[in-house]
A = this chain, B = another copy of it.
Amino acid sequence: MEGADGTPTTSIDKVAEDVIVSYVEEKDLPFNILSEEIGYVDRGAEETLVVDPIDGTNNAVMGLPFFSVSLAIGTQSLMDVRMGLVRNLVTGTSYYSEKGKGAFKDGLLIHSRDFRPDSSLFLIYMGKYASYETMRVVKSFERGRSIGCASLEMCMVAEGMVDGYYMNCEKHDKSIRVVDIAASALILREAGGELLDLSGRPLDMPFNLEVRSNFAAIGDLKAAEVIISE
- Residue contact B130 to A144, C-beta cutoff 8 Å: yes
Interface centre among A126, A139, A144 (most CB of B within 10 A): A126
Contacts of A65 in B (CB 8 A): 65
* Cβ contacts A to B, 6 pairs, < 8 Å: A128-B138, A128-B143, A129-B139, A130-B144, A132-B135, A144-B146
A interface residues, tally (CB under 8 Å): 28
Total copies of the chain: 2
* A140-B134 Cα distance, complex, nearest whole Å: 15
* A77-B65 Cα distance, complex, nearest whole Å: 34
| Residues on A facing B (Cβ under 8 Å) | 58, 62-65, 121, 124, 126-130, 132, 134-135, 138-148, 161-162
- 6 closest pairs, A vs B, by CB? A126-B144, A146-B146, A135-B135, A127-B143, A127-B144, A145-B146
- Residue contact B162 to A141, C-beta cutoff 8 Å: no
- Residue contact A138 to B161, C-beta cutoff 8 Å: no
CB distance from A7 to the nearest CB of B (A): 14
